[in-house]
Amino acid sequence: MGDWSKLRGSRTVRPESVAGPPVVVRCGLTDSLLGGLTVSVGHFFARAPDEERLAAGLAVALDRVPVFAGRLRVAGGGLEIVCDGTGVPVDSHDVDATLGELMSRVTLPTAGLVDHVDAAKARAGEAPLLTVRISHASDGGAVLGISWHHAVGDVQSFVLLMRVWSAAVEGRALPEVELVTDRDAYLDRVLPAEDCGRPGFRVPGPEEAAVLAREVAVSGRANRTVQIYFGDAETERMREAYSAAAGRRLSNSDVLCAHTVCAVRELDGDGDGGTGGAGGLTVPVNVRRPLGLPQAVLGNLLGEIHLETPAGCGPAQLAARLRAAVADFTGSHLNLRANLAFLESIGQSRLGDCVPLGFDPARHRITFSNWSRFGLYDLTFGSGPALFFSPVANLQLPWVTWLVEGFENTGSLLTAVLPARLTGRLRGAEGHALLHRFRAAGDVLPPTAHAVRRLA
């Protein structure tokens, strides 16, 4: 953030108590597949949390959730997390900007709100798996910017850490956490004997691999991040209309996903990269609930729903197909055993050549991650509810979206990374008319919504 950000202090926070040899967690296949990714988010508070209480609470949280305070290492062809208490860097900055001005920067790669974990260095054991950056705004507000390595765990795992941390700061009872030391062995015990049989990743040929590598290399220049806010009343009108058209009850997530995907497809001209279809849709699924697993288990307990979205597939139809897929996830889409079988067939040494099915930019395949209903606005850290929570721009791979609760815990906020030309159309009059055709003239946006840069 250049001259307008001044370092206030820097420290390393370690678990409250480290006794005996370090616990070693054997990562699973899904963890290893996500080993090149980091996730970065920001909590925006009107009143800055007390830094000493934050540090003390984080030490307690890292004691209970030690995977975030350790280091990765490669062992036996896979990854391991060594929970050695190496710790987490926590930096604090004074920023010459108001909280609203900081909110307006959240979609910019140069926002300076998070110290993004270096995925490659962390995978090699040369960098931390979690970073914390506290940005003190000029009006007394603050941003708690967090970044973590995806191999450590999914959003559910991150939220477990944050819940323990917030509870420790406020002196409340700490949530339960379940640490599994061999993640694939754990899944082997709890998974059904058979699944859908279709692996969730593939090995591209040399030509496609080169195209995908170029896509990653130019992602920062070619793509932009846009945010779209849907109010509660707007979403309810949408849900009622699409449920009536589909002839079944649909969830808010179903309709927001289908509505946005169809709007993007229309603005993109049903773009399909010349493949003859209109892309597709991938929806990550937290498998804890459909498999009846404890919510306290750490790791990347993720499956995926893969749907085709042919030209002419309307939002009500797509939402109904998504609802059916969620209802029959374990029967038609669970594929964790298929993933393991596929890796066994190609050999562990080729894991690095694998690409998730959801990463298919040539076909404009959209990935829709639902982060709502995780209680992210319940994390107060002694400062009261956050005004705003958001993903923070990092690696800008295209056709990726996230859904979270919106400003001041109202409505829904969808963050999307798309080609620059398309984000411009989404923000324009045509995009606004498509996206917000269920918004009424009397709907009022939360005051904080007006701070975000070029909200669609």
- Segment 368-408, tens digit of pLDDT: 999 999 999 999 999 999 999 999 988 899 999 999 999 99
Identify the helix (H) or strand (E) that includes residue 238: helix 232-246
pLDDT of residue 190: 95
Percent of the chain's residues with pLDDT above 70 = 97
pLDDT of residue 278: 63
Tell me if 328 sits within 8 A of 209, measured CB to CB: no
CA nearest to 147, candidates 111, 117, 110: 117
Angle (CA) 61 103 138, round 5°: 85
pLDDT of residue 76: 82
Residue range 318-329: mean pLDDT, rounded:
97
CA dist 152 and 159 (Å) reads 12
CA dist 96 and 86 (Å) reads 32
Confidence band (pLDDT; 50, 70, 90) for 453?
A: confident
pLDDT of residue 231: 98
- How far separated are the first and last CA of the chain, in Å rounded? 25
CA dist 71 and 144 (Å) reads 22
pLDDT of residue 277: 45
Tell me what the pLDDT averaged over the chain comes to. Answer: 94
CA dist 64 and 74 (Å) reads 24
Residue range 346-369: mean pLDDT, rounded:
94
pLDDT of residue 270: 55
Pairing of strands 130-136, 88-95: parallel
- Segment 219-261, tens digit of pLDDT: 999 999 999 999 999 999 999 999 999 999 999 999 999 999 9
pLDDT of residue 239: 98
Tell me if 123 sits within 8 A of 151, measured CB to CB: yes
Domain range annotation of the chain: 2-188, 206-451
pLDDT of residue 3: 64
| pLDDT exceeds cutoff 90 at 311 | no
Residue range 298-303: mean pLDDT, rounded:
98
Percent of the chain's residues with pLDDT above 90 = 90
Q: Where are the alpha helices (DSSP H) in 51-118?
A: 51-64, 99-103
2-188 and 206-451 agree in CATH topology: yes
| pLDDT exceeds cutoff 50 at 276 | no
CA nearest to 199, candidates 59, 399, 341: 341
Topology of the domain comprising 2-188 = Chloramphenicol Acetyltransferase (3.30.559)
| pLDDT exceeds cutoff 70 at 431 | yes
Give me the helix-helix angle, 315-327 and 252-267, nearest 10°.
140
pLDDT of residue 269: 84
Tell me if 337 sits within 8 A of 345, measured CB to CB: no
CA nearest to 409, candidates 373, 442, 451, 456: 373
pLDDT of residue 275: 39
- In the CATH scheme, what is the homologous superfamily, with its name and number, of domain 206-451? Chloramphenicol acetyltransferase-like domain (3.30.559.10)
- Segment 162-214, tens digit of pLDDT: 999 999 999 999 999 999 999 999 999 999 999 999 999 999 999 999 999 99
Tell me if 219 sits within 8 A of 108, measured CB to CB: no
Find residue 80's DSSP bridge partners.
26, 73
What b/e sequence results for 353-380 when a residue is b if at least 16 CB atoms lie within 10 Å of its CB, and e otherwise? ebebbbbbbebbbbbbbbbbebebbebb
